[in-house]
A and B are shown apart, each in its own frame.
Chain A
Amino acid sequence: MKSGSRLEKILAKGLFAVTGELSPPKGNDVSVVKRKADLLRGYVDAVNVPDNQTAIVRMSSLAASALVAQIGLEPIMHMVTRDRNRIAIQSDIFGAAALDIKNILCMSGVHHTLGNQVDAKNVHDLDSVQLIDCVRTLRDQGTLLGGEEKIEGKIELFIGAVMNPFADPFEFQVTRLAKKIRAGADFIQTYPLYDIKRFKEWMTMVRDRGLDKKVYILVTLCPLGSEEMIRDVENEFPRMVVPDEIVNRIVKSENSAAEGVKLCVDQIHEIREIEGIHGIHLINMGWTEITRQIAEMSGLFPRPKI
């Protein structure tokens, strides 16, 4: 075991993993974290805690992850390279490991000019691949990045990365996955899946290179319960296009919320048939309570005891 996290154990046993999302509050209101944790506890194996997602200032992912861990849910702490240099990154990783955080998700982060602090100076001292390599170095070599200096203690983290099979250049998104694996990624979570045809093409290329045997792949699904939610997803993931077919299905339905749930459950059944998929990541655009219903309806509840 690299980290001994629940997520790692589930995946190592070949069980189909379910992760959820808990967006930290735009302030210090701990009750928000508790309320969302209560909605998700028991329904997911671990929960992603975003790091100022979409460059909107929120409670730090480190603090929120520590709170989540304290109240009995396993966090996957996001870390973006947008806001910290390698000094802060490594320092925060020490802190996270000390606070019983066992999973980390490494990414560059949405550009700050798309958020609510557009006048900020961005950092990008490291990129996402270099961040993965940095965490792996701390964990496996027990030294700081680029140095011989031994760290005090032992960093045990399950390292995640993000892939967008829907971004361009399409073929490069496979090369990039290979790079992230080589840098040290143990698992990946994708961008939200709506274009299943393109996703299957991408997975074929991934399997052709044998990459699905080297990393656990979790597909992100985001149920859409209204026209507004479709717009929110397109805002949160710039350039993400929800296909017309799906938009029509949701918007024209008499009960958009129910239709969105049904669509998501259908997607889960469909992707479970794809070779090389090891789990799903259910995000919710603030519709946190829906995670339970989808887990139940798709037969993913209760979660296995390990």
Chain B
Amino acid sequence: MLVAKPGLDGHDRGAKIVARALRDAGMEVIYTGLRQTPEMVVRAALDEGVHCIGLSILSGAHNALFPRIMELLKAEGADDILVVGGGIIPEDDIPDLKEAGISEIFGPGTTLQEIIEYIRSNVKL
């Protein structure tokens, strides 16, 4: 599992809490750290051979960055990797992000258990 922070926001408490919860759920979680370009996220996912990418974003740039990550994954033939997102993402943006290939978006108020269960039942191992 890769937990990634694409773009220019400097807050990763949420990403770290999710990473920790997934760890406690028995997953091997690689955290990229802050300020990653889509290229860096995809390279890390491929080199590490992950099954799932979790993108955390609070900056508002999700409409640009999420679809770009999906494009790069497709170009590499790696769109079988489950990609989920979370952070501050307006309801109205969600349909387009799903259209671009993001499987699910988790907004504020989501429980850690919901995220864990979603990944467990949707990831292709």
A and B associate: no
**Which residues of B approach A to under 8 Å, CB–CB?**
none
**Which residues of A approach B to under 8 Å, CB–CB?**
none
